[in-house]
Amino acid sequence: MESQHHYFNKVDSTQDWAKDNFSSFDLEKLHVVSALEQTKGRGRFNRHWHSPKGGAYFTYCFLVPEHDHSLNPISLVTGITFAEVLQKLGLKVMLKWPNDIYISGKKAGGILVETKETPEGKVFFVGIGLNINIDANELRAVSCPATSVSVETNKSWSVKPIMLPAENIFKRNLEIFLKEGFAAFDKDFEAISFLAGKKVTMDYGKETIVGIYQRVDENGSLVLKLKDDSSKAFSSGEIISWE
């Protein structure tokens, strides 16, 4: 798959720009919309995503024609891609279902997956925000305990040498995923799953669910063992605490 890049110094949100402009894209290609800073970065549940200079903010936009297995794990496959890239920098990376990137126990990045149905298939907008050169002061503006690649390594990094290999690994992983499904990745995911073995509390619509993490299944759903010993798969939800 060929790539086409759309670079911005500053944009409201790479995600919104991609969604506003994808109808003019050649969707045979992977479109990568990136910005050095965002003024209206968005996270999951429409939360603000603090996006000062020094972070990496980008959206992958691509088309997936009609498909016979669940596409939900695309966010996990994206996480696995970035875990691979960051591990090569010597970092201890874990992924917190469904789409948080953790370094040394703190959030260092997040993934936001949105889609639009078109007659040709589903268009994906996979937004990634990664704290690369964000200093400890800036990180205080973030509501959960957060870290960055520079804080963890005590040095600053050029963003492009991290992002270009990530793009190639993403393309490779996406191709494998579309052929083989999540079965090709579930062992990789479990090896770095932040919640493995933990008791988790999750907001699930109006309910609060408490259960023991078991695994993530082929649909990308979180399987929890509940109080009555039954196992249940949850396709979405927000983990609010763990122990």
> DSSP letters along 63-77, please?
EE-S-SS--TTHHHH
CA-CA distance, 168 to 181, in Å (whole number)?
A: 19
Is 57 an interacting residue with respect to ligand BTN (CB under 6 A)? yes
CB closer to ligand BTN, 35 vs 63:
35
Classify 147 as helix, strand or coil.
Answer: coil
In contact, 202 and 209? CB cutoff 8 Å? yes
Residue 93 binds ligand BTN (CB under 6 A): no
Task: Give yes or no for residue 78 binding ligand BTN (CB under 6 A).
Answer: no
What is the x/- site pattern for ligand BTN, positions 16-45, by CB under 6 A?
----------------------x--xxxx-
Give the end-to-end CA distance of the chain in Å, rounded to a whole number.
42
Say how far apart CA 38 and CA 52 lie, in whole Å. 7
Alpha-carbon distance of 67 to 171, in angstroms, equals: 17
Peptide bond preceding 98: is omega within 30 degrees of 0, i.e. cis? yes
Rule CB under 6 A: is residue 75 a binding residue for ligand BTN? no
- Nearest-approach distance from CB 199 to ligand BTN, in angstroms: 22
Closest separation between CB of residue 12 and ligand BTN, Å?
8
**Of 12 and 218, which CB lies nearer to ligand BTN in the complex structure?**
12
Smaller CB separation from ligand BTN, 36 or 64 = 36
Place of tokens 């939360």: 47
**Which residue's C-beta sits nearest to ligand BTN?**
110
- How many residues form the binding site for ligand BTN (CB under 6 A)? 20
221-240 residues in contact with ligand BTN (CB under 6 A) are none
| Strand partners for 223 | 215, 233
By the criterion CB under 6 A, which residues form the site for ligand BTN?
Answer: 13-15, 38, 41-44, 47, 49, 57-59, 100, 110-112, 127-129
